Amino acid sequence: MPPFADLFPAALLFAAGRESELRPLLMQLLVIIIAARLGSMVARRLGQPSVVGEIIAGLLLGPSAVGALAPEWSAVVFPVRPDGASGLEASLWGFSQVGLLLLMFLIGLEFDFSHIRSQGRLAAAISLAGITVPFAFGIALATMMVPRLTALGAPESLDTMSFALFMGTALSITAIPILGRMLAEMGLQRSLIGATVIAAAACDDCIGWTLLTAVSAVAEGRSDLWVIVRTLAAAVLVAAVGILVVRPLFLPRLERAVEGEAVGQEPDGGRLPLPSLSLLLSALLVVALVTSWIGISSVFGGFLLGASLSGSARLRGALAGQLSDFVTTFFLPIFFTYTGLRTNIGSLATPEAWGWCLAVLAVAVAGKCGGCTLAARWCGVPAAEATCIGVLMNTRGLMELVVCNVGLDLGVIPQAVYCMLVLMAIITTLMATPLATALLRGGQHEARLIDRGFLRAPG
């Protein structure tokens, strides 16, 4: 009789210990998903979008909360290597990046160009102000922080130019994925305000990623203006190919595929058949690879492809039904936890550090919210709606967390400044919904906000 392992190859996996390597990852994913759902429930009860609760839940799972209050339990679920990194950090990072890519694609798919065609001047003005003002403010703040960086834990070798450029870039970012989810939950994603804000934020982040590429070049000793120009030109080329080639080639075929699977006459009904879905996901990965190769984050490639295919209610509904729930409940909380594991509020150990943290928050709000509000007012937007646009553009959330992780990996910011930027991202995101809904009370969007549970009915 042949050996047992020959009859059951799976036995070899157990013998090799591979199951014992998988179990910690499964335990981590279980904890992350449960924590995210609990955080989401609490956030919605408090009138915040569910994603805000997921971000905070991820932060609490790190050394700032659970790691400090229950270190033994934390060490079992999220083991730490001798070098201080999470034992399964690479796996969590991979899952988180795939989730970001899919989420950005779905947000791009929701993009509505109809408002932007008539509001291009407004979106452009808001985008320009949303980059230049906070970037200048960030550079100024960084210049003041430089003499005190060693007191904040920075090594003597930290390049101050890279630090200043990174701070300007970090304060210029707007969180498209979080903003998209917030607008969708509020029912404003296809409104004039929603479309204008998303368009301005997309331009901001495209420029922001280009600036981040320049910061990376400076940090690695290869600063070159040509690198920045070439990256921006390549990004424009990718967007043009998406609109002029990918859209006419793919969109009619995908719409026919959905219609062939549709049940009933619902405009957003049906599903995308598996062969077509596989083709679409393959195209998504190709675009992500291309944007990564040209020096812009691969996740932004997801937005470009989604925006190229936007405008079809049936395709949008099909893909939202097939991908959206799994992305938001599985992949995205992993990224929040990955960031939380790298964030330690204990690094802000002195009154001076907390003072700089408040300064980072104040400068970030003044630069982004103030600059965008003034730009909207200059374009003739009523005061309440202009301020609402500024508040929404001030949402840092997810993309700020991505940028913070890049900065920490590059070594251009110390752990304390990383923590300051993470807290700023969370606080500005927490501010957005209550302020925006209060500003929109009494206007044309009030009924929708009441229906979605963000406002109480009068009387």
Tens-digit pLDDT string for the chain (459 aa): 445 444 444 444 444 456 776 788 888 889 999 999 999 899 878 877 777 888 889 889 888 888 888 888 888 788 765 444 444 566 777 888 888 888 878 877 876 666 556 567 888 899 999 999 999 999 999 999 999 988 888 888 888 888 999 999 999 988 777 787 778 778 887 777 888 888 888 778 777 777 877 777 777 665 566 766 777 778 788 888 888 888 898 888 888 888 766 544 454 457 888 888 899 999 999 999 998 887 777 777 888 888 888 878 788 888 877 888 888 888 888 888 888 888 888 888 889 999 999 999 999 999 999 999 999 999 888 888 899 999 999 998 777 887 888 888 888 899 999 999 999 998 998 888 889 888 888 877 878 888 877 777 776
- 3-state secondary structure string across 210-274: HHHHHHHHHHCCCCCHHHHHHHHHHHHHHHHHHHHHHHHHHHHHHHHHHHHHCCCCCCCCCCCCH
405 within domain boundaries: yes
The number of folded domains in the chain is 1
Angle at 366 between CA 214 and CA 339, to 5 degrees: 55
380 within domain boundaries: yes
What are φ and ψ of residue 454, in 5° steps?
-90, -15
286 C-beta neighbours (distance < 10 Å), count? 13
Domain that holds residue 385: 99-449
Domain at 147, CATH number: 1.20.1530.20
For tokens 């890279």, the residue is 162
Burial of 354 (0-12, 13-18, 19+ CB in 10 A): middle
pLDDT of residue 222: 54
Q: In Å, what is the CA distance from 390 to each residue of 70, 423, 433?
A: 40, 19, 12
pLDDT of residue 13: 45
d(CA 350, CA 423): 16
228 within domain boundaries: yes
72 within domain boundaries: no
pLDDT of residue 392: 92
Task: Annotate 381-406 with DSSP letters as a single string.
Answer: --HHHHHHHHHHHT--HHHHHHHHHH
d(CA 66, CA 59): 9
Of 195, 116, 175, nearest to 403 by C-alpha is 175
218 within domain boundaries: yes
d(CA 13, CA 223): 48
Quote the pTM value.
0.79
What are φ and ψ of residue 80, in 5° steps?
-115, 135
**Residues 40 and 330: beta-carbon distance below 8 Å:** no
Name the residue type at position 254: L
pLDDT of residue 133: 95
d(CA 20, CA 16): 9
50 within domain boundaries: no
